[in-house]
Amino acid sequence: MLTLRSILAAAAMAAFTACSNSTAKGPVAALPAAPETPVRVAAAESRSVPVDLTAVGNVEPQSTVVVKSPVGGTIIKVHFQDGAMVQRGDPLFEIDKRPYEETVRMWEANIARDRAVLAQAEANLSRAQAQEAHYGKQAERYTKLAEQGIVSREVADQSNVEARARRTAVRAESAAIESAKANIRSAEAALSSAKLNLSYCDVKALIAGRVGTIRVNTGNLIKAAETELVTIHQVHPIYVAFSVPEENLLDIRRRAGSGSLPVTAAIPGDSRAPARGSLKFLENSVDTTTGTIRLKAAFDNADSRLWPGQFVEVRMRMENRPAAIVVPQAAIQTGQQGAFVYVVRADRTVEQRPVVTGPRIDSSIAINQGVAEGESVVTEGQLRLAPGVKVKVL
């Protein structure tokens, strides 16, 4: 039976024999060098970088008017077509005027009648005043004669009663005049109202803008202040509403206070340059549900590119950073510790370096910390890399 000692001795002999054979055959051949990993690189460069806030915005008309008529009646004419551009004061609809014209004539006749009544009351007042003066003097004479005993006291009393009756008649005629004047004022107010209603028969545009679908046609009967005729959107200028996180509020308020903030609106799929406008409105409270603040930018929209209800890509320029370090976005990788890039050193080995990223600029991104100007970063081939791996730049 083999003992442990004999097994160990046999193993030692085998090892000695192998070493002897190896020495006899010469030195062991070195392992081949690892192949270089092909990559593409780009140099970090320094340039001015705009800092923008981006959001999805919704185009809103500056003002919207739902056209209704203050008077009812039958539509006898439509002056425009669906989707037309109209100016303030342009005629839109015409309502049958005949009932309103008759009302105007009726009140004109009432005013003429009331003026005749006033003239008659004024004539009656003049007659009553003359009679008052006559009977007043007569009462004075009879009173003096009664005191002298020339006429009886009864005659003097009758004369005084008659004088008082004439004074009462004067007051009555004065009241009649005031009543006639009040009737005239009331009729004149009614006439003005009738003429105003008559003017409402010509429905005109209250703002300049683009009309929507015509909701009534010639021959339709509409109700006063109830039937919607058409909607007008003011689109020159126009608003774009969007929301940004509330952490940007302080910066926005500070920068907006020193001047208007430029805003651009790009229409998805439109190859033309984005429309340019400026910030005009900041909501007076933060939306506590979403933690965002609502903003509005104004655009002159002279070419009518922006359409109410349309969604657009919004960029609001906050500042320009001079001499910022910029690398292609393809260089940025994400690991458990955050963003990093592979930097190619002078010996063509790579170093994994954590970075702090800044704003994006088209296909590039600013690096706030981690990369210096002129350093080469890997933009393609990162999957085959690890710290210390040697690379071949393509």
Q: What is the mean pLDDT of each run of 10 residues along the chain (394 residues)?
A: 45 48 48 77 92 93 96 96 95 97 97 95 90 87 83 84 88 92 96 97 96 95 96 96 95 87 95 95 94 96 94 93 91 93 94 91 89 94 92 90
CATH topology (fold) of 52-60+240-320: Elongation Factor Tu (Ef-tu); domain 3 (2.40.30)
Per-residue b or e along 36-48, where b marks 16 or more CB atoms closer than 10 Å to that residue's CB: ebebebbebeeee
Q: Write down the CATH number for the domain with range 38-49+323-393.
A: 2.40.420.20
Q: Where are the domains of the chain?
A: 38-49+323-393, 52-60+240-320, 63-97+201-231, 98-198
pTM over 0.85: no
Task: For residue 30, count other CB atoms closer than 10 A to its CB.
Answer: 6
∠ Cα 230 231 234 (to 5°): 140
pLDDT at 12: 47
CATH topology (fold) of 63-97+201-231: OB fold (Dihydrolipoamide Acetyltransferase, E2P) (2.40.50)
What span, in angstroms and rounded, lies between the C-alpha atoms of 144 and 140? 6
CATH class name, domain 98-198:
mainly alpha
DSSP strands (E only) in the chain: 37-43, 45-68, 73-78, 85-86, 91-95, 202-204, 209-211, 221-222, 228-245, 262-266, 275-282, 292-299, 311-328, 333-335, 338-344, 350-354, 356-361, 364-369, 376-380, 391-393
177: three-class secondary structure by DSSP: helix
pLDDT at 34: 65
